[in-house]
Amino acid sequence: MDAVPVRVLEYLTEVEEAAEDVLTTKQQIVDLDTKRNGNREALNALKNEMSDSEKVKVCFGNMFIKFPKAKTREMIQKDQEQLDKEINDLRTALKAKVNRLNVMQGKLELRGYNLSPLSTDEVRAINSLLKR
């Protein structure tokens, strides 16, 4: 008789840990997306800046440092690429984590959740077929 409550407690603990993992991943995506939006704003500010100066002030931690515009733009764009990659990796991992949680809860896997968008080549091929 004592084995049943222990097993139920273990099951609930496993489900809770899986749910916490899903929530943590979602929060990481939100945090990285916020940073990505800040970078996008910085790139637009650099693009729209009317000043003739070749250097701009960049905040690193709690310090402002004058940096060349071109180098600043390059650093932000590299950061954007890295953030995009991390966000896409987290989203891919999130799908697997959500499916694992659903299986643990006895639910069916989400249908259509593993779909991926068509590539530009695939879209062109479909458009060329539809034009015939």
Average pLDDT, the chain: 89
Distance CA 132, CA 123 (A): 15
The more confident residue out of 121 and 132 is: 121
Q: Classify domain 3-110 at the CATH topology level.
A: Helix Hairpins (1.10.287)
pLDDT, tens digit (0-9, with 9 covering 90-100), for 45-92: 888 876 667 888 888 889 999 988 889 999 999 999 999 999 999 998
pLDDT band, residue 1 (cuts 50/70/90): low
> Which pLDDT value is given to residue 52?
62
The tokens describing 87, both together, are 């966000």
Cβ–Cβ < 8 Å for 103, 109: yes
Domains in the chain: boundaries: 3-110
**Statement: residue 8 has pLDDT above 70:** yes
DSSP state of 110: P
The tokens describing 117, both together, are 């968008």
Say if residue 28 is exposed, middle or buried (CB neighbours under 10 Å; 0-12, 13-18, 19+): middle
- Reduced to 3 states (helix: H, G, I; strand: E, B; else coil), residue 112 is coil
CA distances from 26 to 9, 63, 83, 119, 132 (A): 26, 30, 15, 25, 44
Distance CA 120, CA 125 (A): 9
Beta bridge pairs of residue 64 = 59
Q: pTM (2 decimals)? A: 0.76
**Statement: residue 37 has pLDDT above 90:** yes
